[in-house]
Structure formats: structure tokens, C-alpha cells
Structure 1
């Protein structure tokens, strides 16, 4: 069972238009150091980020609730055979969970074509609600008028993702390395966790590590997210209403040669309230080879993983890797045996 005590992960402020956000300044490198140390020691950190107002976030979750309240048959129209994408309903392993994955979210041209097609229909449809949820996230007037609003939102999420990417690069002294060293696309996922029928402490999402580079997420202030500390204790997180959480994934752990900690996390539900959250996953693009940076391999940090193709690794996860504990899957697939 998770601890009832408050577990304090680092809270790092990203203050726009300040010297800290000006790459190359002393303040910038100090901020980069905070990000790196949080990723190494905790595997996650809280991003205190007030660029998106609380009211807008509330509107987002209001729309999300309407989306998930649709009839099951309607939601199933959004099924997608690709992992993590389309509608995912309750399962034996996660009976309280539902999710919608929005693929290619950082492909602005594709996204624009999709939303233009959706908005050309007069009748209500599932995809329309999905776009409303996305648009509400950034539209300052709370009304989605065209696909440009959705694209603007995605650019903001990608901007935050890329900012963290640069901070990690600079924190390791890799400024001269290509900024595309962690090329990724964004997958958005809307998530709902039903309150357990017994109202007792119940699994909402099984313990797992994310397989991507990193995940940016936030919730509707209904508690449930727990992380496992390095001494294997489960603890609850309590996050500010105006914050995001960044979670290190297995691919970033591999890229850093094990310096960064891919944190095991889960969702545990109790009480009478359902929980909604939104996650933006930085997925390595098709054909990406995940490999440790040579600058991060030394006597103190000998190489722990072989280079591996992310697409092939994903296929392994959903085949013979299913039986392996999530945090051990990358080592089972690409671990260097001594």
C-alpha cells in the first residue's frame, strides 16, 4: 500500500521571460542542473508552470468528462490497433481505467487536416469531443474556432517538451551536440479512473515505467498518482493545481546510460471521486536507435544497455515481454550481460 505521508519530489519553476529561460545564461545552467538532478535522483519532478490558467484546465477536464460519459459503443468507434492509441476500455489488469490516445499530435499538417475534416461535419461525433478537449487546453477564449487553435496547443506542449530536452542536453555539457539527439513525436492521452465500487484502496493503473523518452502529465486534483522510491517504497504525490509532472522513461534512462532514473509509477484509487488526467508522451520516431551517449559512459558509469531499435523494443513489450515486470523489460531486451 502507498504511504499516506507526503513525498516531496523537486518542484522546479519555469518562469517565462526570465534569465533562467534564456539559454546560455548562468541562471539557465543552474536550472538545467536542477532538472538533471531531479531526473537522476527521483525520476520525476514537478514543473511549476502558470502559462496555462487553472480555469482553462478545469474546462478541459469538464469536456473530458463529457467525452468519457458517451455510450460505450460510441467510444469504441475510436478503436485503434496501435499501442496506446485510440480508445482503451477497462481490462482485467486495469478495471477502473479508460483512455483515449491521440496519435501524431506533433504532426501539425496531419492534425490540421484531421480537425478540418472533423469540423466539416454538422452532427455530433466522438472525434469532435476529442478535439474540443484538446482545444480547450490552450484556447484563451475557451471556444475552439478552427484547427489553428489545436495546432497552437500542440506547439505549446512540444515547446515544453523541447525545453526539457535542451535542459537535459545542456546539463550534461552536450550543448554542441545536435538538438535533435532525442527526436520524438507527441502522443496525447486523456485518461479516466472510475472510483472503485468498494470505495477502498484499489489499483487504477498497474505499476509500470514509461517506455518513451519522457511524459508530461497533470490531473484534476483527485489524488491517485504514486511513485516508487529507489528504496522500493510506494508514496503518493501531491501536486500543485498549476503544475505538471515530468516522468523519465526507459528510453531517456538508456540514452543517459542509466544516470537518469526511469521511475516506476502507478495510480491507486479510493473514495467516491473519479479521476481524470492528461498525458503527453514523447515517443521516439519510427526507426529511432536508442543508445547511450559516449560522453556519459565512463568508469563510474560503465555501459549497461546495448543499442536498440525503439520500434522493435515496443513490439517486444507487447509479445514475449508481457510476462516481465515493466521496469525490467528494457534490461531483458537490451541488457549487457557481464
Structure 2
């Protein structure tokens, strides 16, 4: 039986027509974004700009990244808490994360790639991750613009806010526990 207190996660389509600023489609999507954020705090974005081919390339690149030895992954360090390489303290195969700061800057992604594959990476990890990060950043900027506009905030303030953003791409790997496995989360 359906619980009336449980809401369905809103799904918003960010197809090409909804990304055209000033159109009726833009206005409808903008209103959906505001409503979803006010009511649920989040939504599921359908975003065709990330093609199936790119998505598959990203997953393939991430498999190669997370297959690297733990010592190599640990080279990604940061002075900031929870940045760099993180893993479940008991078994790194269960849960790991790696972040790339300023992933919309190709030079930063290349620097990260060089740290992981000093001998070079022929699979174009940098290009794939950079392309993906920029597409996701574009979506974030569209959503930000829609939120600012829906509340009547000046375009200049929105542009200034967007210009001040730097992007952190957080890459995660989770191992699904088996039926008989017991894990205590700490």
C-alpha cells in the first residue's frame, strides 16, 4: 500500500528545448525545478547531453581508475578534510572515493591523470573526464540560473555567482554487499 507521506522523486527533463533561455519550455522547466527543490530538496535530472557513449566511456575510465593499486590512489592528497582519496577503513574494495578539484579545467584533470598514470594513459582518461565534468557543470549552471530567475534575482548577481564557482568532481566506487555479508557502517 502506498504511503501518502512518501513522495516520488521529481523527474525533470533537461532536453535541448528546456535549455533555451527565455522560451516557454525554459519557463516550465524553471518552475518544475523551483517546485522540486522547495518540496523535496532535490530531483532526478534527465540530461541527454551526456550521451550513452560518453556515459559508457566514463564508467570504463572509472573502472580503470579504481582498479589501480591503493598506493597509487592514495597519491591523491589534500589538506582539506574529506578531499583526496578516501576509503572504508577496513576494506578499500567496499567503498572508495577520489576527487578531482577544478575538473572543468583540462590542465587540472591532466595533472590528476599524470599522478595516477605517470607512464601515460592511452585511453584518454583526461579527455573523457573533462568532457563529462563540463557537461555536468553546464547543467548545474542552468539549474542555478533557473533558481535565481524564479526568485527574481538580478541576472548580474546570478552571473557573478556562476563565475565564482569552482567544481569538484567526486568519483565513487561502492561494492554491493552479498546476501550473507554483514557490514557495520561507522
Task: Normalising by structure 2, report the TM-score.
Answer: 0.76
* Deviation (angstroms), 1:75: 1.6
Counterpart of 1:84 in structure 2 is 82
Query: Which of 167, 173, 178 is matched with 2:157 structurally?
Result: 178
Deviations 1:25-84 (A, max 9, x none): 333222111001101111111111112222321221122112112222222222323233
Query: Which of 29, 45, 48 is matched with 1:47 structurally?
Result: 45
Change in 2 beyond 3 A, CA 1:55/1:163 = same
The alignment covers a number of residue pairs equal to 178
More helix by share: 2
Change in 2 beyond 3 A, CA 1:134/1:189 = farther
Change in 2 beyond 3 A, CA 1:43/1:178 = same
Counterpart of 2:19 in structure 1 is 21
Counterpart of 1:161 in structure 2 is 140
Counterpart of 1:34 in structure 2 is 32
Correspondence list, 1:1-338, <5 A: 8-16=8-16, 18=17, 20-91=18-89, 96-106=94-104, 108=105, 111-112=106-107, 115=110, 125=117, 132-137=124-129, 150=130, 152-176=131-155, 178-179=157-158, 180-181=160-161, 183-196=164-177, 199-200=180-181
Change in 2 beyond 3 A, CA 1:41/1:127 = farther
Task: Normalising by structure 1, report the TM-score.
Answer: 0.45
More strand by share: 1
- Where has structure 1 moved over 6 Å in runs of 4 or more? none
| Gaps in structure 2 of 5+ consecutive residues | none
Q: Distance in 2 between matches of 1:95 and 1:69?
A: 9
Secondary structure at the aligned position of 2:167 is classed as strand
Q: Distance in 1 between matches of 2:132 and 2:176?
A: 30
| Gaps in structure 1 of 5+ consecutive residues | 138-149, 207-338
